[in-house]
Amino acid sequence: MEFLIHFHLIAAMAWIGGSIFMFVLGVSLRDKNKQKQVYPNIGPIFGYFEVASLLILLVSGILMAGDKGLIYGLLEGDESAIGEVFYNKMMLVLFVIFFTILHFVIAFKTNTKERTKLQNILSRTSSLMVLLLNLVVLHYAIILRSML
């Protein structure tokens, strides 16, 4: 099971690196015409890249957590320090998944169409939330590994 941390870390780099890159792109690419050329082309590729990274993170994470008895602790309501850190990480991961799904639904619905104001707000808010939450997940991941 020790090899799983390699997959988990590579997927975490791809997943978080992708969201940071898209944030930088969103901030720097302000021209509407350029956006219309870039986003419809890279959007779907980026989407599949991110979904694959998240799936690898979830599968490797669940396997490692199962191996270390953390899933059992989570279900049993383990109140120890490590149980709490793992619980916090899992809650944050649930929110990350929620905002990711919201972002993807809007992205796929509107990839080649004009967005409404509400769709724009929801899309930008959800991607910013994924980025910020990822940084907090990373913080808990580091604490968790130092405790194991």
- Residues lying near ligand HEM in the complex (CB under 6 A) are found at 5, 8-9, 12, 15-16, 57-58, 61-62, 64-65, 68, 70, 93, 96, 134, 137-138, 141-142, 144-145, 148
- Minimum CB distance to ligand HEM, residue 103 (Å): 14
Under 8 Å between Cβ of 95 and 129: yes
Q: Calculate the CA 38 to chain-centre distance.
A: 22
Q: Which amino acid is at 125?
A: T
Q: Which is nearer to ligand HEM, 71 or 122 (CB)?
A: 71
Measured over all CA atoms, what is the biggest interatomic distance in the chain, rounded to whole angstroms? 54
User: Distance between CA 25 and CA 46 in Å, rounded?
Assistant: 12
Q: Which is nearer to ligand HEM, 127 or 134 (CB)?
A: 134
Q: Which is nearer to ligand HEM, 39 or 64 (CB)?
A: 64
- Minimum CB distance to ligand HEM, residue 146 (Å): 7
- Minimum CB distance to ligand HEM, residue 88 (Å): 12
Q: Which is nearer to ligand HEM, 35 or 80 (CB)?
A: 80
Q: Which is nearer to ligand HEM, 39 or 103 (CB)?
A: 103
- Minimum CB distance to ligand HEM, residue 107 (Å): 18
User: Distance between CA 10 and CA 84 in Å, rounded?
Assistant: 25
Alpha-helical (H) ranges within the chain are 4-28, 32-67, 70-76, 81-110, 117-147
- Minimum CB distance to ligand HEM, residue 126 (Å): 14
User: Distance between CA 49 and CA 43 in Å, rounded?
Assistant: 10
